[in-house]
Chain A
């Protein structure tokens, strides 16, 4: 009895849907799209609850940031923004060099991103597609260094920067993160499947030298992964706090170190602090609206590959 029932089920996964031997399994197939039944109210209710908990702290900051300090004292938090946002923003501009900090952050994150993506693609391509002595050993080193918390080398790094006279300069923030082991690993994992060996061979047969093979064959194929790596490198550089705090001074900060000054002031006006937090988040919200999909697929791809 059970044998008869199970026979078509075992084949269902092997055969394409339209080639099913009998009509019987077809409705089964339909019922089990996704991991289970059609999601109901409970599912969407849960997702809505998560949405609220994701968004509420931001919304609350925008509400308080557009009112005055007294709004914090109200026993039930106000739900709608007030009219004070621009006054608070003006206060932010008076307290910290906001535009300079924003410019610095954009510059630092862009240079780091270009460098990490460029060098990672170059090295990742070599590890994925070129044959050379010591390749496996060197790749193992890359993987091993991924797990090393290099941030803990900040003291010698700080001494070096001071000796070079770079403290206070943008370069001191940029230089320590010009390459990452993760970037090389990520590009290697991507390129190893994406470029067929024959494509490289035929480019070589056509007389292309190594670098132009890289440029004309590998780079176009690597573009999607480069975009994802770039997005994440940019985010990491943008959010970095400890290192810029050490090597930059209050007069020439990044956006993160400047923001922290709002919080550290002797008299803290919380509506100004929160207005600053909201203001600093706005550019990333725009980026998120534009590139959110890529960010998601990047996270999900990284999970499968890594």
Chain B
């Protein structure tokens, strides 16, 4: 019917859709205006509504729960104000868990960043079979933390573990991977490092590949060796990405749960709590001691600590950035000098 209309094709096209939706043009226009104005809000609404319901509300409500005596089964009790906070802050198990968390975090974050940087630099070359090598470093990432914990818990077994067996072959004493504090932290950090180093190396590799190759060329011609080029060109150029890696691993690392939980399933973080992390303590408080009030207090305190870490990270990275802008490094100064010379 529409195809046979005598109008020209250019006029015909909008008329067709007009007729298809509504016959009244004024109403159609109003509908169109409404469509343009309201659609963006409709598109972002699902995210904001769901996020408010399942993300923000629980977090805020955690604070409310922390102000009450609140039992897992008996439910809400008396309002106690900040009493939970003063008690948790005097609880040596809380501080113990915080110490363990930070210790495990540092033992994983620092070596991981160093090795990932090195690995990224190795990968950032004119390699044969690039994809193969990249996939090989990413392989541990696809093993889930539960499986990683199961595998490494057995490797770090005190009696028949692979590592102690091999140490014994060299005449070394077995290490008490589970019963002693530092060895247990190293074992748990190893699980984290094994899974995440390759992943972070790929992120850093991407940043390294964005560094202009000419910078390396001129530095090499100036006589800078590979090491010097890495520290004077590569590192400064990828600093924002390093900050990104550090921040994401901080947020994740301070909430570590799976690995210490499964390292000794019979206890909540070791017989002497030697590797009980804060989230593990939170879990114990909520579901074994059934004290929701105190568990919420722990959650809220940990939240504040993570935010604090984030702010510190941000400030440090900003200070580095502004310091760079104000005081050019030797390499940029030299580059500028050279540029001036050539334009002259």
Q: Knowing A123-B47, A292-B138 touch, does A241 contact B146 (C-beta < 8 A)?
A: yes
> A211 at interface (Cβ–Cβ under 8 A)?
yes
Asked if A166 is at the interface (CB within 8 A of a chain B CB), the reply is no
A154 interfacial by beta-carbon distance below 8 Å: yes
Please report the number of residue pairs spanning A and B whose Cβ atoms sit closer than 8 angstroms: 331
Q: Does A22 contact B (CB under 8 A)?
A: no
A265 and B226 alpha carbons, distance in the complex (Å)? 53
Complex Cα gap A235–B17 (Å)? 43
Q: Which of A10, A38, A149 contacts B342, CB < 8 Å?
A: A10
Name the B residues within 8 Å of A32 (CB-CB).
213, 216-217, 220
CA distance A300 to B203 in the complex (A): 5
Whether A38 contacts B137 in the complex (CB less than 8 A), given A156-B57, A260-B262, comes out as: no
Contact check, B39 vs A155: say whether CB atoms are below 8 A apart. no
| Size range of the chain B interface in the assembly | 35 or more
Segment among B77-85, B88-96, B97-105, B298-306 that sits at the interface with chain A: B298-306
Query: Which A residues between 77 and 136 are near B, CB-CB below 8 angstroms?
Result: 77, 119-120, 122-123, 125-127, 130-132, 135
Question: Beyond A130-B39, A156-B58, A303-B244, is A58–B151 a contact (Cβ under 8 Å)?
Answer: yes
The answer to whether B125 has its CB under 8 Å from any CB of chain A is: yes
- B197-238 vs A: 1/0 string, CB under 8 Å? 011001111111111111011101100001001000010000
> Once the chains are docked, how many angstroms separate the CA of A246 from the CA of B251?
21
Tell me the bound Cα distance from A54 to B197 in angstroms. Answer: 10
Q: Mark B234-247, 1 if CB is under 8 A from A, else 0.
A: 10000001001001
> Closest approach, in angstroms, between the C-beta of A207 and any C-beta of chain B?
4
Determine the distance from Cα of A304 to Cα of B203 in the docked complex, in whole angstroms.
8
| Contact call A176/B136, Cβ cutoff below 8 A | no
- A292: B residues at CB distance < 8 A: 131, 135, 138
User: Does B288 have its Cβ within 8 Å of any Cβ on chain A?
Assistant: no
Q: Which B residues have a C-beta under 8 Å from some C-beta of A? A: 13-14, 17-18, 21, 32, 35-37, 39-41, 43-44, 46-48, 50-51, 54-59, 61-62, 64-65, 119, 121-127, 131, 133-155, 157, 160-162, 165-166, 168-169, 194, 198-199, 202-214, 216-218, 220-221, 226, 229, 234, 241, 244, 247, 251, 254-255, 257-258, 261-262, 265-266, 279, 283, 286-287, 292, 295-296, 299-300, 302-303, 306-307, 310, 338-339, 341-342
Lowest 10 A-B CB distances belong to which pairs? Answer: A153-B58, A34-B126, A300-B206, A207-B17, A210-B39, A13-B214, A132-B40, A126-B43, A303-B203, A156-B61
9 contacting pairs across A/B (C-beta < 8 A): A7-B342, A77-B162, A131-B40, A151-B255, A208-B17, A241-B146, A288-B138, A293-B131, A303-B203
Residues of A within 8 A of B (CB): 3, 6-7, 9-10, 12-13, 28, 32-36, 38-39, 43, 46-47, 50-51, 53-55, 57-58, 60-61, 64, 72-77, 119-120, 122-123, 125-127, 130-132, 135, 138, 142, 145, 147-160, 175-179, 181, 184, 206-211, 214, 235, 238-239, 241-242, 246, 255-256, 259-260, 262-264, 270, 273-274, 276-277, 280-281, 284-285, 287-288, 292-293, 295-296, 299-304, 306
Seed contacts A34-B124, A43-B127, A50-B198; 17 additional CB < 8 Å A-B pairs = A12-B214, A34-B213, A36-B216, A57-B148, A77-B162, A132-B41, A145-B56, A155-B299, A181-B51, A207-B17, A260-B262, A263-B153, A270-B160, A281-B142, A293-B135, A300-B209, A303-B206
